[in-house]
Amino acid sequence: MSTLYALSAALLFAVSVPAGKLLLAHLRPLQLSALCYAGSALGLLLWRAFAGRRPEGRLERRDLPYVAGFTLAGGVLAPLLLFTGLGRASSASASMLLNFELVFTSLIAVLAFGERGGWRLWSAAALVTAGGLALSGGAAGAEEGTVLVLGAALMWGLDNNLTARVSLKDPVPLAALKGLAGGLINGALALYAGGPFPRAGWAAAALALGALSYGASLALLILAMRGLGASRAGAFFGSYPFLGAALGVLLLGEPASWRLLLAGGLMLSAFLLLASETHAHSHRHEALEHDHLHAHGDGHHGHSHSASQPGPHSHRHRHEPLEHAHAHSSDAHHLHAH
């Protein structure tokens, strides 16, 4: 299910590529970015208002540094670096360099947060990056803006890892916070840049696109991170450049070039590598206390309740030290050394 969440997130985000091309004929880039971020927050909050609250874990004080970090890195600094860099680099260069988000995500996850590496992960990261290079034509050049675009990719890699640290919490407010921050910052930049206000119809279309491609996509990615960790969820999500290009062929009538077919083959190989991955060994869990949505009978949640809890539920609970062996990934319960 986590893999399906990650691929669904990639597909929804990929929709922003052909749709964004259409909207850029009527909106300036900063306007489009601001409206998409704002639409993500608005869409998620409306979803919560009408769908009701699931029994998800609540944010705690110790979660706030991670929330502040991913909001700053992904909702503020990354867009600022990207748009500044785009003013000094070609779009082809920027597209290529942004593929390094996956590499930065994996490096930070393994080196800083103890997620498992392995040849399959690094091979998949290389294949997805190669697919992105094939799509962009591999022409980076030594332009002044490349460092800024690489900085944006690094910030989004950091954003992914900080988000993964709180992925057990309710994904709706987490994604809405980032959307709100991105909307405010990019909206302020758009006002500072000047120019006419967008027409209401095109603004509404951008808000709707943001609700789908930014808000729903990010919420699904957070759910994927629960079961896969930042590195592997990021690898599956990294297929969005190919999916976006494929949608451009289907929806905009763009030519199906050999670069697109090559990228598709490389990314399919990466998917098969990760999808066939198995990892099981005897490992020890240290004592841990936290609050998140869980169900009993999974081998990790055997605590008792004063009242019957037949299905998934959320409350603060304690994990006693435990040693056992089973197949697992680098989720929040399995960040141990190997």
328 pLDDT above the threshold of 50: no
Write the pLDDT tens digit of every residue in 45-67: 998 888 766 666 677 888 899 99
Write the pLDDT tens digit of every residue in 137-163: 655 544 566 788 788 889 989 999 999
Cβ-based neighbours of 63, under 8 Å, separated by 6 or more:
166, 169
Residues of the chain above pLDDT 90, percent: 16
Write the pLDDT tens digit of every residue in 82-136: 777 766 665 555 666 677 788 888 889 888 888 777 888 788 888 877 877 776 6
Grade residue 16 by pLDDT with cuts at 50, 70 and 90. Answer: confident
Query: How far is the C-alpha of 72 from the C-alpha of 185, rounded, in Å?
Result: 10
pLDDT of residue 46: 92
169: left (phi over 0), alpha (psi -120 to 50) or beta: beta
Q: What one-character DSSP code corresponds to residue 287?
A: P
Query: How far is the C-alpha of 232 from the C-alpha of 22, rounded, in Å?
Result: 32
Write the pLDDT tens digit of every residue in 181-221: 889 988 888 888 887 888 999 999 999 999 998 899 999 99
pLDDT of residue 292: 57
* Mean pLDDT across 58-80: 86
pLDDT of residue 142: 44
Question: Residue 280: enclosing H or E segment and its boundaries?
Answer: strand 280-285
CB atoms within 10 A of CB 337: 6
Q: What one-character DSSP code corresponds to residue 61?
A: G
Write the pLDDT tens digit of every residue in 235-290: 788 777 778 778 877 877 877 778 778 877 887 887 787 777 665 546 565 666 66
pTM recorded for the entire structure: 0.74
324 pLDDT above the threshold of 60: no
303 pLDDT above the threshold of 80: no
Average pLDDT, the chain: 78
- Which tokens belong to 241? 């450049």
Sign of CA pseudo-dihedral 254, 92, 109, 211: negative
Task: Give whole-number Cα distances, 228 to 24, 67, 112, 197, in Å.
Answer: 35, 19, 16, 42
Q: CB–CB of 111/163 below 8 Å? A: no
Pure H helices in the chain: 2-14, 16-23, 29-51, 64-72, 78-86, 91-98, 100-113, 119-136, 146-165, 171-193, 200-210, 217-237, 240-252, 258-275
Residues of the chain above pLDDT 70, percent: 73
Q: CB–CB of 318/287 below 8 Å? A: yes
